[in-house]
Chain A
Amino acid sequence: MSVLQASVGVKGKNLEDDVQTVQSLLKSKGYDPGPVDGVCGPDTIAAIRTFQATFLARPDGLIEPGRKTWVRLSSSGGASTTPDLTQWSGDSAKWTQEKKLQSLHPELRPKVVAVLRALEQRGFQPKIYYGWRSVAVQLQLYFQGNSKVKFSFHNAQKPNGTPNSYAADIIDSRFGWSPGAEQSGFWKALGEEAKARNLTWGGDWVSFRDWAHVQLVPNSELARVKQESGL
């Protein structure tokens, strides 16, 4: 268990040892505070804020001993209880189909397998584009203006950090999201097969279509899923 003597971050005391501790913990969780040099510069503060954004509505860039950010940052620091998360690193859109399936919630997995089989039988060439993706990737998308949400059902995880996605994006490997997907009837077929298995389909969202997206539970359960994820 790491120890913090005083506050670190925006208007913090920023003692060199404390800053180093925070920097290495942020690094171990996949954030980029810059070099572990004990100096609390803009990169370290940005990394603190990004980390806080996963559980605070208003990140303030400050870590204080005993307070929420420190408790979160220093928890799961004991290597013996931490699962090996390195196998879940990298661009999750580029994982193998098998690994994408493994990243799904155990109740979603058999349903997605059944949807894929049914679509194949209908002459399509379906594949999973996204199963799980990390909150860090999601936040990056959000701040770049490439996503409307900071937390999505794709980001669901077990409290120990292993993937547990409540959603999958399924495309036809010939078309992706190009007009061919609609013209060939792929989206319509995906919607039918998903809903036949009680999944929510993003193609039904009139205000904001997400054609490839299928989801285990309705949107109203987002807060519960986020909480269940320990986020």
Chain B
Amino acid sequence: MIKTAVIAVLVFSAALPARAERLWLVIGASDPSAAALARKTKTLALDTPDSLVVQTSDCGDKKNFYAWVAEAATSPEAAHAALRRVRTAARDAYVKRCDTQPGTLLALRITAVDASIADVPETAVNWQENDRISTVRPLPDGRAIVIARYFAKVKDDPLEGRRERVILAESSDKRRVLEENCPSPGRVAMRHGRVAFHCVREEAADNLIHNVVVFDTTGEKLAEIKRCRNPKWLNELVIECEEESVGPDGQLKLRTIRSSPLPPLPSATSSHQAP
């Protein structure tokens, strides 16, 4: 058991930083509301390819607001040079020192509010504040699952363009999109670096129906199990989930099923499988 843990630490030592990283954020606009901030930043005509929206709770602040950050500099000098540029478009821009909390979107340099959110029509009926904000869920092996929420401009969309992209993030420069659109992604089940979770795919009477998606440790898709929820690993080759069925009475019936065996783990990682 101890041996497994030691090897796991070695394997993932290049993962997310465990300690706070000090940054100087060049802030061009801020607002307590994600929706309002998205609209504000749209009017800022600035060419800043590295800009991102930061929630200040990622700096450990108790009171959270959303900040449009033109640049997350690693030194005060770099920040002040950037500040002079930003002030040409945003006169109230300022620099905020930030001790980045580990396991946050900021640590991964992923924006908390996608730029597309600014285009959500004001008349949208079913968009809530939470639909505009991306979130992160740390995994036990040091990596993280990011749910990036965005707006897809699709005509006559039943969800008014609400989308949730699921990203497997290893570090600020190493990430892979697992699902481009996974409404309401469920809890992530993990075994030997392999991950599984469910996404909403259908509606039936008063129930939402899901598919379970399964990925290899590299993020390669291994399987999609139709009409199933709450995946659990039986071992690293077999998944168990609850198959969903809705009859004419509209009642949801669940039945536990097992997936067919997945491909074996690559030999490099199979050496530290649990006995």
Contact = CB atoms under 8 A, between A and B. Distances in A.
Contacts, number: 102
Interface in B136-172: 154-160, 162-163
A148 B201 CA distance: 11
B125 interface: yes
Interface stretch (B3-11, B97-105, B242-250): B242-250
A85 B124 CA distance: 29
Question: How many of chain A's residues touch chain B, expressed as a range?
Answer: 35 or more
Given A176-B246, A176-B248, A219-B160, 13 more contacts: A129-B250, A145-B208, A146-B206, A147-B208, A148-B184, A148-B200, A149-B159, A178-B245, A178-B247, A207-B157, A208-B158, A211-B204, A223-B124
B238 interface: no
Contacts of B204: 176-177, 211-212
Interface string A48-65: 000000000110000000
A216 to B, nearest CB: 13
Interface residues of B, number: 34
A210 interface: yes
Classify the secondary structure of A's interface with B.
loop
Contacts of B200: 148, 208
A150 B124 CA distance: 12
B125 A218 contact: no
Interface in B120-146: 123-126, 128-129
B246 A178 contact: yes
Interface in B207-251: 207-209, 245-250
Interface in A68-115: 93
B158 A146 contact: no
Contacts of A219: 156-158, 160
Contacts of A210: 158, 202-203
A177 B205 contact: yes
B23 to A, nearest CB: 32
A210 B202 CA distance: 6
Interface of A: 57-58, 93, 129-130, 141, 145-151, 169, 171-179, 200, 202, 205, 207-213, 218-220, 222-223, 226
Contacts of A172: 248
Nearest to B161: A207
B203 A202 contact: yes
22 contacts: A129-B205, A141-B206, A146-B208, A148-B126, A148-B208, A151-B125, A177-B204, A177-B247, A178-B246, A202-B158, A205-B157, A205-B158, A207-B157, A207-B158, A208-B200, A209-B203, A210-B202, A212-B205, A218-B156, A219-B156, A223-B124, A226-B125
